[in-house]
Structure 1
Amino acid sequence: MQALPQLLRLQSLESIIDPLLWILVPETALLNAIALIEAGSKNVFVFSSLQVAEWLTKHDRIMLVASETRLKTAKIFEVMIPW
């Protein structure tokens, strides 16, 4: 059985890796994390004890703004969902 050519097409590494990848600590101000996403980053990763604890996406940004979270005073760890 032959594989279809369109299924064999692989994306280049440059198109997969986010060039604006930011790694933050849970104590980072939520407003700062959202600003990084607004600046063009696809995701913001939150590390705690050398492990990924959470990541924020553009979708999360929309949900946080809509939820009326106090963006100026909240820290990332206050809105993180436990794994």
Structure 2
Amino acid sequence: MEQIPLFPVEARLTRIDAARNAWRFYEMSIQRDLFGGAVLIRRWGRIGTAGRLRLDLHVNEGAAANALSRLLRFKVRRGYRWA
């Protein structure tokens, strides 16, 4: 069992299942925006590609960190591992 950091600000995960030809990555990081809030940047896709990008706006870094932690727990349960 892997230990998830208490207050992560970035994470890079991979899920490799050769039997299903699944070679996936998922990256998350928190950045401050120009208006005092925070942005959770998520990028995911097949390993070796640019993947897709999503930006989630949050009121502050704490709210973004809570969202990142929630997504991180969900992804680990789905079979992703730390890269």
**TM over 0.5, yes or no?**
no
Q: Which has the higher helix share?
A: 1
Larger Rg: 1 or 2?
Answer: 1
Q: TM-score, normalised by structure 1?
A: 0.26
Q: Which has the higher strand share?
A: 2
Q: TM-score, normalised by structure 2?
A: 0.26
